[in-house]
Amino acid sequence: MAKYKLEYLWLDGYKPVPNLRGKTQIKEYESFPTLEQLPLWGFDGSSTKQAEGRSSDCVLKPVSVFPDSTRTNGVLVMCEVIMPDGVTPHSTNARATILDDPGAWFGFEQEYFFYKNGRPLGFPETGYPAPQGPYYTGVGYSNVGNMARQIVEEHLDICLAAGINHEGINAEVAKGQWEFQIFGKGSKKAADEMWVARYILQRLGEKYGVDIEYHCKPLGNTDWNGSGMHANFSTTYMREVGGKDYFEQLMAAFEAAKDDHIAVYGPDNHMRLTGLHETQSIDMFSWGIADRGASIRVPHSFIKNDYKGYLEDRRPNSQGDPYQIASQILKTISSVALA
Ligand code: ADP
Ligand code: MN
Ligand code: MN
Ligand code: MN
Ligand code: MN
């Protein structure tokens, strides 16, 4: 038997976007615990904006489990928040609203800034560094500084050791801005892994005295790029049947549900979706082949393959909740009748 440190993670009740919360309990197991071996646990919902009425007890239900290479016998346990009856999802539990579909695949591209002393990492104390240009996928001290890459690499290694399905990382357009991509098969997998990867990144920042800034336009109305979280998605039908008629019906459904999508695509998105900087305006809906100025980008491969494959919704921003985003995308897809 060995004592394991179980870090239960969940999303609190803050609006418009939830924060990650976590606390540890120690339990003994013969070997690394499986999901089935992890018990329900409780917390004080009155401290996380999740208490309803007079009863402050909320319940944590483990939904996915990851080894934590930064701690001896460490375990990261992603949880849903449920009611004291042990079954009913809490009103803040967006994960429970995601349609169960093992054939749904998501790939999220998380952009973010490192921040130190209220400024992007690598910015001078006053004024601005040289304008954007060399930073995207850049190399060298002047372009990436002396700390960012170290954090990025360490984050990647911890995530890979946890079994999180990272597909890649890159330095982004603004100084101090980076991206990682996570892909997952199943309607909830990439979203679970995104929240755990965010947790690992924020926790790692503690060690370096650096915050992770997820706001979509932290430098306001300037020429510095904002941050998105493009959502790439496909279903079994899209990959295997597809077709021009179905695609056009799907895009009509996305256009009709435009406001429902924007509502969960992250706060302050009007600052980012301006029609400039490779975005479509927040008031418009469009799709386009290989068009980075469209709401939905259709990869060349999709057209070549008789309208089969995946699509990229470019509107979700860096601060969006991947649970709410996946939930809305699948809701809109499921409103379209299959041939
Ligand atoms: P770009 O920056 O050009 O948009 P990225 O490589 O950063 O491209 O992101 C593309 C994303 O698309 C990846 O996260 C990848 O996992 C995802 N993706 C690829 N194929 C599929 C698919 N069939 N279904 C859903 N997502 C997919
Ligand atoms: Mn990308
Ligand atoms: Mn990017
Ligand atoms: Mn970008
Ligand atoms: Mn993209």
Q: How many Cβ atoms sit within 10 Å of the Cβ of residue 91?
A: 12
Choice from 101, 106, 109, 241 to test ligand 1 binding pocket (greatest atom count within 8 A of CB): 109
CATH number assigned to the domain covering 104-335: 3.30.590.10
187 lines ligand 1 (CB under 6 A): no
What is the torsion angle, in degrees rounded to the nearest 10, for the CA atoms of residue 17, residue 18, residue 20 and residue 22? 170
| Burial (CB count within 10 angstroms: exposed 0-12, middle 13-18, buried 19+), residue 36 | exposed
167 lines ligand 1 (CB under 6 A): yes
Specify the pLDDT at position 216.
98
Contact predicate 9/20, CB 8 Å = yes
Tell me the average confidence (pLDDT) per consecutive run of 10 residues in the chain, 339 residues long.
Answer: 98 97 98 98 94 82 98 98 95 98 98 97 95 97 96 98 98 98 98 99 98 97 94 98 98 98 98 89 96 95 98 98 98 94
Specify the pLDDT at position 177.
98
Domain edges within the chain: 2-96, 104-335
43 lines ligand 1 (CB under 6 A): no
61 lines ligand 1 (CB under 6 A): no
C-alpha 335 to ligand 4 mean position (Å): 30
Which residues hold their Cβ within 5 A of ligand 2, which is an ion? Answer: 109
C-alpha 25 to ligand 1 mean position (Å): 36
Contact predicate 316/230, CB 8 Å = yes
Which residues hold their Cβ within 5 A of ligand 3, which is an ion? Answer: 179
Specify the pLDDT at position 277.
78
Question: How high is the ipTM of this complex?
Answer: 0.93
Chain centroid to Cα 274, Å, comes to 22
Q: Kindly give, in sequence order, each residue whose CB lies less than 8 Å from that of residue 248, ignoring residues fewer than 6 positions away.
A: none
For residue 314, the ligand 1 atom closest to its alpha carbon is 4
User: What backbone phi and psi angles, to 5 degrees, belong to 118?
Assistant: 75, 10
Q: Kindly give, in sequence order, each residue whose CB lies less than 8 Å from that of residue 267, ignoring residues fewer than 6 positions away.
A: 16, 17, 216, 317, 319
Specify the pLDDT at position 52.
67
C-alpha 109 to ligand 2 mean position (Å): 5
C-alpha 287 to ligand 5 mean position (Å): 14
110 lines ligand 1 (CB under 6 A): no
The radius of gyration of the chain's CA atoms, rounded to the nearest angstrom, is 21
Specify the pLDDT at position 53.
62
Specify the pLDDT at position 229.
98
pTM recorded for the entire structure: 0.97
Structurally, at CATH architecture level, domain 2-96 sits in Roll (3.10)
Choice from 167, 180, 300 to test ligand 1 binding pocket (greatest atom count within 8 A of CB): 167
Q: Kindly give, in sequence order, each residue whose CB lies less than 8 Å from that of residue 12, ignoring residues fewer than 6 positions away.
A: 18, 19, 20, 21, 48, 49, 50, 92
Which residues hold their Cβ within 5 A of ligand 5, which is an ion? Answer: 109, 230
